[in-house]
Copies of this chain bind each other. A is one copy, B any other.
């Protein structure tokens, strides 16, 4: 069953409605295959059908997050990024402070640190919401 079909079925099961707007947002997220701001998604949706409102995009993104089909990261630049969760599920995000590139990394990489914080501080890391600032390979060369 494709990603869209899963979403559409879950919608129905929980009494939500399938609207063209929701279809378009999901389809745009597929096209993008990576991170996008609400604004970028809104522009792409607008290109397909004008007079779709950005507030609908936000509302749909929230819905998709409730369904665990979309994750969002806050890179700290005041503009949240959204990402379609494929079969890979959540990963953590390295955010380049210079060029803005976002690199997805499997959660396993940070597990030793997460375990350490749990043991030393009793702190449960929410790794799926983690975005880590720094400099990507290209930018750290300069």
- Which A residues are within 8 Å of any B CB, using their own CB? 74, 76, 94, 96-97, 103, 105, 109-110, 112-113, 116-117, 120-126, 129-130, 132-137, 140
Most buried by B among A110, A122, A134: A134
The 8 Å CB contact of A109, one of B105, B117, B124, B140, is B117
Query: If A76-B74, A117-B105 touch, does A129 touch B133 (CB 8 Å cutoff)?
Result: yes
A113-B113, A123-B134 known; 11 new pairs, CB 8 Å cut-off, are A76-B129, A94-B117, A109-B116, A110-B113, A122-B137, A122-B140, A123-B137, A123-B140, A126-B135, A130-B132, A130-B133
Within the complex, the shortest CB–CB distance from A110 to chain B, in Å, comes to 6
Give the secondary structure class of A's interface: mixed
What is the bound-complex CA distance between A109 and B112, given in angstroms? 10
Whether B94 pairs with A123 at a CB distance below 8 angstroms is yes
Docked Cα-Cα span, A32 to B80, in Å, equals: 30
Among residues of B, the one whose C-beta sits closest to the C-beta of A76 is B74
- Which of chain B's residues have a CB closer than 8 A to the CB of A120? 109
Cβ–Cβ < 8 Å partners of A113 in chain B: 109-110, 112-113
Give Cα distance in the complex from A94 to B126, angstroms. 10
